[in-house]
A and B are shown apart, each in its own frame.
Chain A
Amino acid sequence: MKAKIVVMPKKAVLDPQGKTVQNALAHMGYTGIGAVHVGKYLEIELAGADKEAARRQIDEACHKILSNPVIEDYRFEIE
């Protein structure tokens, strides 16, 4: 199995990186570009076949270390 995790800055948190990418896209002539948010994507390879147990474990890991709940939200899927 594999966990695919996306970590994004919370809406209320300043995202200067996203803003800079947005400005760069506009400068390059791309039109209709709205707000850009830059986050992280992680893939974790998992041994075993118990999807529910894997889900619990990944959720805990996301909360404890893979994201910082003060500034980030996360979502994941197990495949």
Chain B
Amino acid sequence: MVFDSSTLILLAKIDLLRESAEDISIVIPPKVKEECLFKESLDALLIKTLIAEGKIKVEKAGNQEAVRKLRADFRIEEGEAQALWLGKRLGVPLAVDDGPTIKACKVLGVQFVTAIHFLINLRARGKLELPLALAKLDALAAYGRYSRKIIEDAAQRLRGGN
């Protein structure tokens, strides 16, 4: 799955990025790497470590003209456009928590998931105990700022309700 900076950093902030990287193959374009490592922080350090361990792969977004067009068409930045282009070229979903990029995904028919899906997926696969999963959901509710309806549904799913 190709990741945009938003979801990558969100998962790093709630300390679920390593678990996600061990569960699914994560690919990012160079600009996303640059954006995530732009300033020293704990999440930047975690992302840098996972790249060094080969758990996050950095893959070039080749077609500069196409990336420029995506930026112009959808008013998104280079990292977001590179991730979108890479997802489309590889034919894989994009992990993204950014509004304009989500809109671009819908227009272009690129499938997408968000940080909260990784939390629910890890719980469904038995990789997280319920109390820990609920604590992560609390953190994600704050950092991810999902609507109350989404958080309530997610809590129900974590408890095994759906």
Q: Are both chains from one complex? A: no
Residues of chain B touching chain A, judged by Cβ–Cβ distance below 8 Å, are: none
